[in-house]
Chain A
Amino acid sequence: MRNKLRSFLTTLGMIFGVGAVIATVAIGEGARSAVEAAFASMGTNLLVVLPGTTTSGGARGGSGTQPTLTWDDLKAIRSELPSVRYAVAVLRSGSQVLSEDANWTTQVQGTEPDFFEIRNWPMLLGTRFTQSDVDAGTKVVVLGATVADKLFGPNANPVGQLVRIRNIPFQVVAVAGRKGQSPFGQDYDDAVFIPLTTYMAKVQGGLQKFIAGQILITGVTAARAETDVTALLRDRHNLRGGDDDFSIRNLAEVASAQEESSRTVSLLLAIVAGVSLLVGGIGIMNIMLVSVTERTREIGTRMAIGARGMDILMQFLVEAVTLATLGGLLGIAFGVLTARWMTSLFHWPVLFRADVILVSVVFSALVGVVFGLYPAQKASRLDPIEALRFE
């Protein structure tokens, strides 16, 4: 306490330790919230059901190559499972789309209005197609924002205009709101959406009994819906002992796997931070031991004029805690500055959490208690006579 430079050097360990915690947690939390936002834009509690695979000559074709999902399966999922909130088929293929004076190759998706509910996807302009459009198979289209830009130029309003898909004119009824990229880098807005029936009649052709695409499901909870859909499909496909002839991707699981990996990173960082706090604490213990030795006579004097062991203990403990807490507070400032600097340097998103900062302060104080206790105890147990005699 008496020597400012020495006190500062002592707290450096704490400053770096706490600073590292604050900066890394801020960066980690920033990344996590960015990933969370990305998954939320895909839709929450989302399941994707894919048909099974073909196997020819030992080479397995991968998910979705063997049509196994039927329209009756979809109806059954909708009607029989209370754990499923929405279920729609999505059929897609790449195709060129033309406006009056531009063209763009994009993904044409045939689906039903609930699709936009599942994806939690509002319209930017116009009104999306309805169930009656699906029932009647009208030739209307919802453009993704990227496609609208490419065909009509940015900031244009293409609602009411015509576009051609496979040489068939479709009327633009809406432009979907901008959603950005998926967690895997795919542009959600580079697609157009037409009623499912229209897609099947005008785009797909061929076998219509099976769903040549995927089923998107929103469950009340993803896990529950996944169990129920699996059981239903296995029952309907009569798969008593055999493997599933379909696969379900639980995006909540993907998200939680992402979170798991970020947790692992966080844990590693926490260990690093813990080690540096340990080093900081040892620094404080070291300087407190020096201080106790230097001030032996003072301790003896204090004891002679009536300080009890507890008084001396508290004096040194308070000093250690003050040092550690001060280090912690400086460390927080250091960590915040470092994180901000990282943001400006690499454009990483950072998120400061009040609870983390509070915990850091409490933890620093705790480090002071833990590492100050031994020197303080040593001081409090000195023999006053020997302490007074100490040169």
Chain B
Amino acid sequence: MAPLIALEDVAKTYRMGDVEVRALRGVSLAIEKGEFVAIMGQSGSGKSTLMNVIGCLDRPTAGRYWLDGLEVSALSRDQLAGIRNRTLGFVFQSFNLLSRTSALENVELPLLYAGLARQQRHAQARVALERVGLGDRMDHTPSQLSGGQQQRVAIARALVNGPRVILADEPTGNLDSRTSVEVMALFQELGRGGITVVLVTHEADVATYAGRVVVLKDGRLQSDRRQNPAPAVVPPGEEAA
């Protein structure tokens, strides 16, 4: 079976004024369904660019990229938006929730762009919020939620469309260690449910929860190893507020 994500010699070159920045210099990578992959590397290694390419936010300047059997490197802007909407889910470091908008409405947003009717949006968003354990906080706005809760709302938003892949860019960067573990436990659970998780991080201890660690350096793959993921067990104590 073809891998869910297949990159073949992908390169990306930016032009900033007169300077050419070669962010990716030929990366080939295959990720299977249900894998939990951590992409690591120092800043400037090209890990964010790789993430943007995998996330269909950016198109490679060279090489080919298949996502779920479809070659996406040649698609138009709107087609890519459709893929991001249906096949991918995004989780950001700073959550990127709409302020003054309830958790439920935030989670409904991707369904709005998918063109679903109001009732169906409500029902699906409810299910997604319950799945991340926020069934009782649906009407709260982001400012009424803790950082961990906000990130869980963001994960519910990424999940709500039933995506094949969740892309998380430093998802624990703004969280304390305790809530970080909670979020990582959630990602591990998603992986067991058959959703592929691709995580970008520079924290080595976050990467231990992944089943595979890919390290980038200067736009090239430096290492790619599989490991036994550490179980994300929330230390006993009070539930984070």
Which A residues are closer than 8 A to B by beta carbons?
Answer: 2, 297-298, 300-311, 384-385, 388
Contacts and interface: CB of A to CB of B under 8 A. Distances in A.
Contacts of A308: 77-78, 81-82, 113
Nearest 6 Cβ contacts at the A-B interface: A306-B85, A301-B96, A306-B113, A308-B81, A305-B110, A304-B90
Contact of A306 (B77, B84, B92): B84
A380 to B, nearest CB: 10
Contacts of A304: 55, 57, 84, 90, 92, 96
Interface string B51-66: 0100101100000000
Give the interface centre of B57, B78, B157 by most chain A CB atoms within 10 Å: B57
Nearest to A380: B77
B78 A309 contact: yes
A388 B110 contact: no
B123 interface: no
Interface string B188-228: 00000000000000000000000000000000000000000
Given A2-B100, A302-B113, 11 more contacts: A297-B96, A303-B81, A303-B84, A304-B90, A306-B81, A307-B81, A308-B113, A309-B77, A385-B58, A388-B57, A388-B96
Nearest to B83: A306
Give the interface centre of B82, B100, B109, B114 by most chain A CB atoms within 10 Å: B109
Main secondary structure of the interface of B (DSSP, over half): helix
Contacts of A307: 81, 85, 113
A385 B57 contact: yes
Contact of A305 (B52, B58, B78, B85): B85
Give the interface centre of A2, A297, A302 by most chain B CB atoms within 10 Å: A302
B84 A305 contact: yes
28 contacts: A2-B100, A297-B96, A298-B96, A301-B92, A302-B113, A303-B81, A304-B55, A304-B57, A304-B90, A305-B89, A305-B90, A305-B109, A305-B110, A305-B113, A306-B84, A306-B110, A306-B114, A306-B161, A307-B85, A308-B77, A308-B82, A309-B78, A309-B81, A310-B78, A311-B113, A384-B57, A385-B52, A385-B57
Nearest to B58: A385
Give the interface centre of B84, B89, B157 by most chain A CB atoms within 10 Å: B84
Contacts of B57: 303-304, 384-385, 388
A301 B153 CA distance: 14
Contacts of A310: 78
A324 B44 CA distance: 46
Give the interface centre of B77, B82, B98, B157 by most chain A CB atoms within 10 Å: B77
B121 interface: no
A295 to B, nearest CB: 9
B86 interface: yes
